[in-house]
Chain A
Amino acid sequence: MARGEHSFFVPAFSLVLTLALSVAPLGVVAPFRPDFVAVVLLFWSLTAPRRFSLLTAFWIGIVLDTLTGSLLGQHPLALLVIVYLAERFHLRIRVFPASQLAIVVLLLLGLYEFILFWIDGVADRTVPLIERWAPPLTGTLLWLVMFTFFDAGRREARARF
């Protein structure tokens, strides 16, 4: 892990880009927008645990709340829950093959979406339930792509040296 600053700036940059992506106008495909922030945080907490602490998840969530104008505390709570679960169990999860990892990610993203929906309901905000199925699925696909491109390569590199 002695790669120094480089190994911090890449994930930090990915988070800023992620925040921008999560509010970028997508037009017709907007309902299928994956929860970019959740996917990226999950990716990092599964591949490089403890690089982002829970505190990072909290602050990113606050920024996301401000950006999207949702209830302050809604996104941080959902992010905290999934990042905590991922970090807590990453040693057990990490030995799975990619397909089973994807199922875990799908479950975690579903949980994330459910928490957001639940809080909306408690806060009396009218939100459709039917349109919420897509983001966890597209999010898992995005995670799979990220995993195959970045992490599999890294595993190989580590195996060679």
Chain B
Amino acid sequence: MTGPGRTTGSGRGGISMGARFLLLSAVCVSLMVLDRRDQHLDRVREGLSVLVYPVRVLVDAPFSGWASMRTNFASRETLVAENESLKRERLNAEFRLQRLAALEMENARLRALLDSQARVGNRALIAEILDVDLDPYRQRFDLNRGLVDGVYVGQALIDAQGIVGQVVRVGPLTAEAVLITDADHAVPVSVNRNGLRTIAVGTGDSGTLRLPYLTNNQALDIAEGDLLVSSGLGGVFPAGYPVGRISDVRLRPDQSFAEVIAEPASALDRDREVLLVWNAADEVPRASEAAAANLGSGVN
């Protein structure tokens, strides 16, 4: 069938297989260098991500189909029970929101007194997580929103419980995001109880964050169960959202830094929907007006 001559030489276009191999490898290496060094290839990636969109949808389809089937065939009792619990939750949330409006107003007044910048109210958009496993060694996922929806690189993602991650790459229809627990990711946080600022680093395990930059002295003032909120430093994440709870504090007198472990606040591996947050400063006046209006209606 195939002689030895065919394996080593000939082929298409008369170039030998070894030469083609070297040529293509060189192309690969230069692609990698270009992709690594600068953002030269972002356009190319955008185009390619549209091309592979069908594969993503194909993979996601059985899972979203299964989810919608489960909703369709849910029994009446389940729906009634869910409705009840949602109503209760909503009442609870509204009750807390009333106090929040008052607090927000007070906070704005105090900040005005101090002449510091007011906290921003954030615009948000719901994005669905495509059920697609990316690189198994990194905590990344795809979202069904892209450039068309105004998503940008570095945009923060939150869910009902707290900060989830940020966008690292945007295509026209999809965006790629990284979780706060990715081994290459770090969030500037502060301990809610005493305002101590530090950095929470991902571990690669979606249930753990590390706080490696706390000295033994600082760690003395941290207890299990302390809430970590985003500090807003670094400008990626809006300030004041929950990031996690301290789960373990271990002092290490023989070393300069203590070992502090936290659990992420949001349900990182169970989320199906997340909120994309716009961290825009121009929405300050509107936010405080809204708070004022809320306050007025709440008091009277």
A residues sitting closer than 8 Å to B (CB atoms) are: 1, 16, 19-20, 23-26, 30-31, 33, 49-50, 53-55, 58, 61-63, 66-74, 76-77, 80-81, 84, 87-88, 90-91, 119-120, 123, 125-128, 131-132
Contacts and interface: CB of A to CB of B under 8 A. Distances in A.
A88 B18 CA distance: 9
Nearest to B50: A66
Given A58-B24, A63-B52, A66-B48, A25 B136 contact: no
Contacts of B34: 72
Given A30-B133, A87-B17, A67 B56 contact: yes
A80 B17 contact: no
Contacts of A58: 24, 27-28
A49 B45 CA distance: 31
A interface majority secondary structure: helix
Contacts of B134: 23, 67-69
Interface residues of B, number: 50
A79 B59 CA distance: 23
B56 A71 contact: no
Given A20-B59, A63-B48, A68 B135 contact: yes
B29 A73 contact: yes
A61 B31 CA distance: 12
A128 B176 CA distance: 21
Interface in B1-57: 1-2, 4, 6-8, 11-12, 17-18, 20-21, 24-25, 27-32, 34-36, 41, 44-45, 48-49, 51-52, 55-56
B193 to A, nearest CB: 31
B297 to A, nearest CB: 45
B169 interface: yes
22 contacts: A24-B59, A25-B63, A50-B2, A50-B6, A55-B20, A63-B51, A63-B52, A63-B55, A66-B45, A66-B48, A68-B134, A68-B135, A72-B31, A72-B45, A73-B32, A80-B25, A84-B18, A87-B7, A88-B8, A91-B2, A125-B138, A126-B204
A131 B135 CA distance: 12
B65 to A, nearest CB: 14
A123 B59 contact: no
Contacts of B251: none
B24 A25 contact: no
Nearest to A134: B136
Given A54-B24, A72-B41, 4 more contacts: A25-B59, A72-B44, A91-B4, A126-B204
A133 B184 CA distance: 22
A80 B136 contact: no
Contacts of A125: 138, 184
Nearest to B182: A126
B21 A80 contact: yes
A33 B136 CA distance: 9
Given A67-B55, A73-B29, A126 B4 contact: no
A33 B134 CA distance: 12
A102 B52 CA distance: 32
A120 B59 CA distance: 26
Contacts of A74: 28, 32
A62 B32 contact: no
A131 B137 contact: yes
B124 interface: no
A23 B56 contact: yes
A106 to B, nearest CB: 19
Tell which of A55, A66, A76, A119 has the most Cβ of chain B within 10 Å: A66
B132 to A, nearest CB: 5
A23 B133 CA distance: 5
B21 A25 contact: no
A15 to B, nearest CB: 11
B24 A66 contact: no
A90 B184 CA distance: 41
A84 B21 contact: yes
A26 B131 CA distance: 10
A69 B168 CA distance: 10
Contacts of B140: 69
B120 interface: no
B118 interface: no
Given A49-B2, A50-B11, A128-B204, A69 B25 contact: no
